[in-house]
Amino acid sequence: MVNSDEPTTWEALIVDDNTDNLNIAAQLLSFQGTEVHTAQGGEAALRVLETVTPTFILLDLSMPGLDGWQTLEKIRADPKTASTPVIALTGHTMDEELSRIKEVGFNGHITKPYLMANFLKCIKDVLSKMEAPIE
């Protein structure tokens, strides 16, 4: 059972075309005991999702080919993954982009470069909202 406060209960899919960013995020989560899957790009992420059902997805927005915005659209269109929490990974913090992140259905965002405390807090916040009963 997934516990929003316990990373050892999580299974993550991290999607980023930048190997360094991908490895840093994977190491941060692996160090916490999270089972981690990685994909370099949107197309690769969709292939991983054919066999893996992650607790959440960390999805870079700016990637060649299928970018994060397009990948999210495909994730939400698939009944198997439609309700999976997806957190945007972005190097941009402009209000316009942050508003768009919310509007299109991301569950949260993490700004690069990663700071471990903020990184984990964002994930925990998103997962706790998903666990909360609807009133």
Domain spans, the chain: 7-131
* Overall average pLDDT of the 82-102 stretch: 89
- Whether 75 shows a pLDDT value over 50: the answer reads yes
pLDDT score, position 1: 76
* Overall average pLDDT of the 93-110 stretch: 89
User: C-alpha angle 74/63/97, rounded to 5°?
Assistant: 80
Closest listed residue to residue 84, CA positions, set 111, 109, 106? 106
Architecture of domain 7-131: 3-Layer(aba) Sandwich (3.40)
pTM for this model (two decimals): 0.94
Cα-flanking dihedrals φ and ψ of residue 100, to 5°? Answer: -65, -35
- Residue bearing the bigger pLDDT, 104 or 92: 104
